Structure 1
Amino acid sequence: MKYKIHILVCFALILSFSGYSQQGKQKRADTLFNKFSFVKAADVYKDLIAKNYNKDYATRKLADCYAYLRNSEKASRYYKSAVKQENIPIEYYYKYAQSLRGIKKYKESEIWLQRYKDSGGVVHANDFSKDVNFISSVFGAKQQYFLEKVPFNSKFSDFGAFEHDGKVYFASARDEGVGVKRVYGWNEQPFLDIYTADVDTEENVDHSNKVKGDVNSVFHDGPATVTKNGQTMYFSRNNFTDGMEVKDGQGLTNMKIYRATLIDGEWTNIEDLSINGDDFSTQHAALNNDDTKLYFTSDRPGGYGGSDIWSVNIEPDGSLTGLENIGNIVNTESAEGFPFINNEGVLFFSSDGHTGLGLLDIFATIKGEDEQTIVDVINLGVPVNSNNDDFAFTMNPDGITGYFASNRKGGKGSDDIYAFHREPLLTVEGVVSDAINTKPIANAKITLFDDEDNQIAYMETDENGFYQINIDRHQDYKIVASQDKYIDDYRMFTSKNIQTELTSITANLLLNPKPNVVKLAELNTIYFDFDKHNIRKDAALELDKIVSLMQNDYPEMVIRIESHTDSRGKLTYNDKLSIDRANATYEYLTSKGIDPTRITEHKGFGERRLTNGCEDGSTCEEADHQLNRRTQFIVVQME
């Protein structure tokens, strides 16, 4: 009996020690998680699940580990198990929905997002169910960006690439250590450093390609940006100055932006900027086109939540003034970061708070009519964005090429840098004008046809006669302008074999007014005596009728004068005589008060436009010759 009791006591002690062992593992896993060592924490949580110790809790924490590591596939697998648990916190419905987006299961994601809302959850700004057509519209949009892999990616994290003076700068965790290997606990990768390589390099980039000077430290350094003159660098670094690492109240080392100066080929004189703080992060420096404004990411107090994009003015003496949050059109309650401003002043940034395809997506801002105020943001769509993290977008001065980073499948490992080139939107544009007075014609109808005469676009000109239509490249087109009071005009043009940099094709159109045949009948032809150009009495009566008609009945009427001779006499003499008759007619009308601008031209045609067969050598009565000695009036505009 004593022997059996002894066995039972030993067994109970073994169970107790086993329980204490698993409890210690959970404590260790939680400690690693709270220190952001998610790779190591995940290994311990998996072991706890295998040992069936506090399995529900370990499953939730394991799913969170993979979410922080931006591994949507594994995160969704464990969130799927977690949401089946009784009394699961409703936030896990939302987390599961987000992870499903990361593996392109958008319909399932909407279901769990709805369940989250039905359970009382507050939906974040990136609830793409607000726009049910978002996914189809993004994937169905015409592709503008075309991607290329760069040769200098590594199996570690590489991002933040930008070009300057024939070099490409980027941040990378590729240095595994030439001495003591130091790794970042979050993802078990080496700390980031800033590297540089030739733009057209095909060679591997190793630790020898780090930028020279004092920029790189033993902690995270990068990404960076450089001023246009190449003399000043702004870069991100852990809060580490003069060999000292500074932690906040929670024991975390935040990020700061530092400034360095290029002296004799080395980056030195490292300066801690006034916008930094020990209790929040400041990072992802970007400069506007003239280096007078610094944009950056920060989770400092006063934002909209998560991390926001802020800006500050750079004064001539280098001081920073006018700290400003750029507002809630860009910033959300979630995370925004990695700002970049191109030569046209467009802000690009990454966010998981706006409607996107997966995790972080890249967006561009849209400005209002004042070209200053940001009024909206747009998703750059595929292939720039994916169902994973897409960030650190930069564009070269040509506006056609650039870089971004992504942890999508198919890369070399972790975050990879992708180069892009794009075909910018192409438009046909122009002004529709009156052919007589060159004034713009508002509300003219513009119709665009393809090379098979199919109508593909339709619009009306604005008050300045201007139109603009987006078109495809590599096509032939016809564009037609029409207006009720005018004769149609058209142009044939092509977008084939044009330079990629070209963004518009100009096709101006001229419309001639339609003659009014009824009113034309009221403008009777006048006649001249043989070899004379003076205005006869009967002609003066007709001209007075024209004056009255133009001054009283049709004050907008515009006419053209054409004068002629009969065939008798030399050709050159008759040319001069017809011009004299046209001039005499013009002078009579203007002497009676007709504005000269309402007579577009007064022209002589000699004997070139006979009305009958009375040519040289023919026998004609005087009455027949009289019919050719005339001035006619052509109405070119009535109103």
Structure 2
Amino acid sequence: MNIKNYILVCIIFTISFSAFSQQGKQKRADTLFNKFSFVKASKVYRELIQNNYNKDYATRQLADCYTYLRDPKNASRYYKKVVQQKNVPIQYYYNYAQSLRGMKKYKESQVWLKRYKDSGGVVNTNDFSKDVNFITSVFGAKQQYFLDKVRFNSKYSDFGAFEHDGKVYFTSSRDEGVSIKRLYGWNEQPFLDVYVTDVGTRKNVDHTAKIKGDINSIYHDGPVTITKDGKTMYFSRNNFNKDLETKGKKGLTNMKIYRATLQNGLWTNIEDLPINGDNFSTQHAALNIDDSKLYFTSDRPGGFGGSDIYVVNIYPDGTLRDLKNVGNVVNTENAEGFPFINNEGVLFFSSDGHTGLGLLDIFGTIKGENGNIENVINLGVPVNSSKDDFSFSMNPNGITGYFASNRAGGRGSDDIYAYHRVPILHVEGVVTDAINTNPVANSVITLFDENNKQIAYMETDENGYYQINIDRNKDYKIVGSQKKYIDDYRTFTSKNLQTELTTITANLLLNPVQDVVKLAELNTIYFDYDKHNIREDAALELDKIVSLMQNDYPDMIIRIESHTDSRGALSYNDKLSIDRANATYDYLISKGITPARITEHEGFGERRLTNGCEDGENCEEEDHQLNRRTQFIVVKME
């Protein structure tokens, strides 16, 4: 490979590597965003904007990050840029209006609300009362969660579902199929036990699916959580251990959290924990991603009221220390419970103390730059309803999970519901020159729907890359255009895609239009050994250049570079190559090309050989001939 081609390959590799690097960065930002890690996501989106990579999309996402971080000032700053984008979804008019309202710029907010409504948007008349949290309004403006069927609910109470290693663990009072049923006096249902079944099971789950070992007792047991290595379980149970029930001062058997270990497939070695007490309840265990913190619910003295959420550190030796209340951003004077921590460290919980849709609602939390919880978000419908909604969990993918509710339409008193979040779907690709495989920057990308109606367009970046957000369950056509190339298009569909899929790739290959093909055919001219005169074959090629410059590209500017083979002294070859450059230059000028259109005509001697025919190498004459050449570099096309 000669030095020129080597440099070209290096440049292309660098551009490609940069493009892939930025693509990976964007995917990381989107993953963080989907998992409620808005502080980290915002930092990556800012980097993408600074690198001018898919800037419109990153700006939209960054504005949403600031919204969820309860920062209307920065949210409105970026929404202001978003609403100026071409073909922006009208939802961003609404979001901009909300962020302005968050800054108490009510008149300006109304302007953008009107624009949203005039564009076809629908607004609840209560959405813009001045005392409503603008974050909740924006978050609830578009449905984030969708429900999936769960086939193992019973006519009794079922809740507390979470996945671990291909299994679903849940709590249920379905104690059927046994000869003697012990009923809980409070609701005349059997006591709760812990069950386990395969993820996606379609069969009925009966008493044979009870978890193996010593977890289930004659009283309430569950829900549970399990460490990542699958060896340790924390679970709720009435204050009953070693066949001994203990009642509190009020005569009630309170709840405790116990710890068990897995031995030979059985959960055993039940251990009472020091965070428990006889006169208050401790329950609803949840672990963070590295199993170093245990979150739980308790109505112990010293809280904010009702039941609160607490956290305690788990040390390597298993001891629990540094217990603390998670604070009054989460906890209210009413009841909070059922904590869950996703893989990004976001706390979810249920509460009837925060503004919601009914009784218990499920909320997510938002952390600030310092890592402290600064706000809570109601997850909205259909996760929440006018009834009790609780025991939320999220799988590691950040897309799917479970919760429970006693809403109408279920099979039992409490039912488990599976959900999936529908992440943003986009089509992306690279537009490439079909001849030299280089990326084609500033190509116009136009997206059409199945009725051939234009719905979006944008230009590719310097790496030929584009990305456009699209809807699911639709057919599309995407067209790439550039005035020096023939259009290319692809048809694709977003129907029947897996929920986790967020990207459809549609690369486009542009063939140059005919006059550009002629330009690509500008051939290198060659010289005889130790000569600088223009040969007959070289004159034919030079005449092609003259024709192109005079007829097809009257504004084209070129540069001339001439070379020799390796034979002869270095200084002599330098002079010979200059003579060849001058001869080429003089020929073009003699044919009517103005000198101003040839920026340079230089000689490089034997310094840029196209092959390995260096001094001392035994090469054939045709190999030396390849080095005795003049090449033409286009400096400017128009």
TM-score normalised by length of structure 1: 0.53
The one-letter amino acid of 1:292's match is S
2:392 counterpart SS class: strand
After TM superposition, give the deviation of residue 159 of structure 1 in Å.
0.8
Partner Cα distance (2:163, 2:207) in 1: 19
Following superposition, the deviation at residue 267 of structure 1 comes to: 1.6
Contact map agreement 2:236 2:257 (CA 8 A) in 1: yes
Classify 1:173/1:344 alpha carbon distance in 2 versus 1 (closer, same or farther; 3 Å): same
Match of 2:90 in 1: none
Q: Does 1:196 align with 2:196?
A: yes
Cα deviation 1:235-254 (Å, max 9, x = unaligned): 01123333444444444433
Distance 1:588 1:299, change over 3 A: same
Distance in structure 2 (CA, Å) of the matches to 1:433 and 1:226? 50
Asked if the contact 1:147–1:383 (Cα under 8 Å) also holds between the matched residues in 2, the reply is no
| Residue 227 (structure 2) aligns with | 227
Q: Is the 8 A contact 1:480 1:488 kept in 2?
A: no
What are the ranges of 5 or more consecutive residues in structure 1 without an aligned counterpart?
Answer: 1-106, 111-126, 513-526, 537-556, 564-576, 597-628
Q: Which of 132, 144, 165 in structure 2 is aligned with 1:130?
A: 132
Q: Secondary structure at the match of 1:216?
A: coil
Partner of 1:181: 182
Q: What letter matches 1:503 in structure 2? A: T
Counterpart of 2:390? 391
Q: For 1:27-38, what aligned pairs fall within 5 Å after superposition? A: none
One-letter identity of the residue aligned with 2:253: T
Matched AA of 1:337 = G
Give the aligned residue type for 2:406.
N
Cα 1:472–1:332 shift into 2, 3 Å: farther
Partner of 1:412: 411
Give the whole-Å Cα distance in 2 for the aligned partners of 1:467 and 1:330. 41
Distance 2:505 2:450 in 1: 18
Alpha-carbon distance between aligned partners in 2 of 1:330 and 1:339, rounded to the nearest angstrom: 10
| Other-structure match for 1:291 | 291
Kept in 2, the 8 Å contact 1:135–1:357? The answer is no
The answer on 1:316 being equivalent to 2:316 is yes
Tell me how far 1:356 sits from its aligned partner: 3.0
Q: Provide the rounded CA distance (Å) in 2 between the counterparts of 1:430 and 1:530.
A: 47
Question: 2-side partners of 1:225 and 1:379: how far apart?
Answer: 24
- The alpha carbon displacement at 1:261 in A equals 1.0
2:256 alignment partner in structure 1: 256
Q: Does 1:209 align with 2:206?
A: no
Pair 1:147-2:148 in alignment:
yes
Query: Which gives a bigger RCO, structure 1 or 2 (Cα 8 Å, sep 6+)?
Result: 2
The 1:445–1:264 alpha-carbon spacing in structure 2 relative to 1, beyond 3 Å, is same
Contact 2:351 2:363 in 1 (8 A): yes
How far the C-alpha of 1:283 sits from its partner, in A, is 1.5
- Aligned counterparts of 1:296 and 1:511: Cα–Cα separation in 2: 59
Matches within 5 A, 1:247-396: 247-300=247-300, 303-366=303-366, 376-396=375-395
Tell me: CA distance 1:630–1:206, structure 2 relative to 1, closer, same or farther (3 Å).
closer
1:276 and 1:297 map into 2 onto residues whose CA distance is 11
Which moves more between the two structures, 331-340 or 445-454? 445-454
Q: Which whole-Å CA distance do the structure 1 matches of 2:362 and 2:634 have between them?
A: 62
Match of 2:504 in 1: 505
Q: Is the 8 A contact 1:156 1:172 kept in 2?
A: yes
Give the drift of 1:160: 0.9
Name the CA shift for 1:635/1:463 in 2 (closer, same or farther; >3 Å): closer
Structure 2 partner of 1:48: none
Counterpart residue type for residue 425 of structure 2: L
Match of 2:271, SS state, is strand
Taking the aligned partners of 2:313 and 2:484, their CA distance within structure 1 comes to 54
Q: Offset of 1:223 from its aligned partner?
A: 0.4
Contact residue 349 and residue 391 of structure 1 kept, 8 A: yes
Specify the code of the residue in structure 1 equivalent to 2:391. Answer: A
- TM normalised by structure 2 equals 0.53
TM-align CA RMSD: 5.8
2:476 and 2:369 map into 1 onto residues whose CA distance is 30
What letter is aligned with 1:130? V
Displacement of 1:264 = 2.6
Most deviating of 293-302 and 454-463 = 454-463
CA 1:473–1:180 in structure 2 vs 1: closer, same or farther (change >3 Å)?
Answer: closer
Deviation string 1:85-128 (CA, Å, 9 cap, x unpaired) is: xxxxxxxxxxxxxxxxxxxxxx99x9xxxxxxxxxxxxxxxx99
1:229 deviates by 2.8
**2:26 aligns to what?**
none
* Partner in structure 1 of residue 595 of structure 2: none
Taking the aligned partners of 1:323 and 1:462, their CA distance within structure 2 comes to 52
Distance 1:301 1:414 in 2: 31
Specify whether residues 296 and 631 from structure 1 end up closer, same or farther in structure 2 by C-alpha distance, changes over 3 A only: same
CA distance in 1, matches of 2:372, 2:327: 10
Aligned to 2:37: none
Letter in 1 for 2:273: L
Do 1:350 and 1:392's aligned partners in 2 also have CA atoms closer than 8 Å? yes
Deviates more, 1:361-370 or 1:390-399: 361-370
Larger C-alpha radius of gyration, 1 or 2? Answer: 1
Q: 1:255 to 1:458 in 2, by over 3 A?
A: farther
1-structure distance, mates of 2:368, 2:448: 31
Q: 1:172 to 1:462 in 2, by over 3 A?
A: farther
Deviation at 1:183, TM superposition (A): 1.5
Q: Secondary structure at the match of 1:130?
A: coil
Confirm or deny: 8 A CA contact 1:304 1:328 kept in the other structure: yes
Does structure 1 conserve the Cα–Cα contact (< 8 Å) formed by 2:313 and 2:320? yes
What code does the residue aligned with 2:500 have?
Answer: E
- Opposite residue 268 of structure 2, the aligned amino acid is T
Q: 1:315/1:562 Cα in 2 relative to 1: closer, same or farther (>3 Å)? A: same
What are the ranges of 5 or more consecutive residues in structure 2 without an aligned counterpart?
Answer: 1-123, 512-524, 535-555, 563-576, 586-597, 609-628
Report percent identity of matched pairs: 63
- Aligned-residue offset at 1:426: 1.6
1:374-523 matches, cutoff 5 A:
376-397=375-396, 399-428=398-427, 450-452=449-451, 454=453, 456=455, 469-477=468-476, 492=490, 494=492, 495-496=494-495, 498-505=497-504
Relative to 1, partners in 2 of residues 1:509 and 1:354: Cα closer, same or farther, differing over 3 Å? farther
Partner of residue 24, structure 2: none
Distance 1:209-1:630 versus aligned 2 partners, 3 A rule:
closer
Deviations 1:144-179 (A, max 9, x none): 42321323x232211112233443321112337744
Contact 1:581 1:631 survives alignment (8 Å)? no
Counting only pairs closer than 5 Å after superposition, residues 1-16 of structure 1 correspond to structure 2 as none
Deviation of 1:348 (Å): 3.4
Q: How does 1:18-29 map to 2 (within 5 A)?
A: none
Alpha-carbon distance between aligned partners in 2 of 1:432 and 1:308, rounded to the nearest angstrom = 55
Report the CA distance between 1:504 and its aligned residue: 2.4
1:23-102 alignment to 2 at 5 Å? none
Instruction: Give, in whole Å, the separation in 1 of the partners of 2:415 and 2:583.
Output: 78
**C-alpha deviation, 1:270, in angstroms:** 0.9
Query: CA–CA distance in 2 between the matches of 1:243 and 1:171?
Result: 21
Report the Cα offset of residue 269 of structure 1: 1.0
Give the SS at the match of 2:160: strand
Question: 1:297: how far off?
Answer: 2.3
Within a 5 Å distance, the mapping from 1:517-556 to structure 2 comes to none
Measure how far apart 1:360 and its partner are.
Answer: 2.1
CA deviations over 1:269-315 (Å, ceiling 9, x no partner): 11122333344432211223333332322334565544333333333
Q: 1: CA distance between counterparts of 2:189 and 2:458?
A: 56
Shift of 1:359: 2.0
Deviation digits for residues 192-242 of structure 1 (CA, Å, limit 9, x no counterpart): 221223445555444443223222223321101122332211101123333
The CA deviation string for residues 346-404 of structure 1, in whole angstroms up to 9 with x for no partner, is 4433233344332222334456679x665654444333332212222233445554332
